[in-house]
Amino acid sequence: MILGILGGMGPLATCELFKRIIELTRADKDQDHIHTIIDNNTKIPDRTKYILENGEDPRPEMIRSLIRLESMGADHIAIPCNTAHYFYDHISAYTSVNIINMIYETATYLKENHGEIEEYLLLATEGTYEMKVYDRYFEKLGLKILVPNDEDKKILMDWIHGVKSSRIDVGLEEFEGLVEKYRAGKNMPIIVGCTELSVLVKEIKYSKKYFDSMTILAEKCVELAV
C-alpha cells in the first residue's frame, strides 16, 4: 500500500501525523513501514478564514494536492486537518482514491469502543465549530458535543496559531483551567479536534482523559496497510 498525506495544514501537524504512523506501525526494519508520500502544500489558504471571513477558497489547492498524490500512486489519502473535512464531499469528487475521513473515523471509534460515554468537550478551530464539522457524524450515532463559549474559542485559536508558528505559549495549568471550566467535575472526556492542538496536548503532557482525532487517523492508516 502507498499512503498519501495531504499536508501543509499546518506543517508541524503534518509532521506529527507521519511520526505517529511510524510509531504505531509494527516494524523490525525499514521495509516494514508504510510507503508514504507527503505533499506538504503550504499554499492551501486558511480554512477558517474562508469560512468566517470570506477568505480565499482552499479547495483548488487541496484538489491539486489530491491529484498529485493520486498520480504518484497513493492508494489512500489522509488529511491531518479537522477543519478541512468540511470540504470532504466536494474534494472527494476529484479523485478515485479513498480519502480517509478523520471525523467519521473518530465518531465511529468512540461509538464502538466507548459507547457508554454520551458527551464530549470538543476543542477545535472556530471554523470547525461554525460549520459543525463534527456534529453531523456524532448526531447520527447519538453522541453529544459540548462547545466552549466565544471567548474561549478565541483563546483556542491563539493557541492553534502559536503552534502554527512553532511556538508553544500555553502551559498545562492554563490548558487545564479552560477544560475544567466545562467539565465541571464531570468525567467528560475531551476530543482534540484540531491537529495543532494534537501537537499542543502532547507537548504540555496533558494526562487527563482525552481522545485525539489525529491518533485515531494514524491508527486507521496503519490498519489499512495490514
| Residue in 77, 78, 143, 194 annotated catalytic | 194
Checking DSSP bridges between strand 76-78 and strand 2-7, what pairing results, if any?
A: parallel
| Residue in 34, 51, 77, 81 annotated catalytic | 81
For residue 172, CA distances in Å to 25, 26, 122, 193, 207 come to 29, 31, 18, 18, 10
Residues with Cβ < 8 Å from 26, sequence gap 6 or more? 32
User: Is the CB of residue 183 less than 8 Å from the CB of residue 121?
Assistant: yes
The reply to whether 81 belongs to the active site is yes
Sign of the CA dihedral with 197 first, then 82, 22, and 209 last? positive
- CA-based Rg of the chain, rounded to a whole angstrom? 17
Alpha carbons 81 and 12: distance in angstroms, whole number: 11
For residue 101, CA distances in Å to 13, 20, 31, 104, 190 come to 16, 17, 27, 5, 20
The reply to whether 15 belongs to the active site is no
Alpha carbons 131 and 110: distance in angstroms, whole number: 21
Q: Among all chains, which residue has been given the C-alpha cell 491518533?
A: 215
> Which positions are annotated as active-site residues?
81, 194
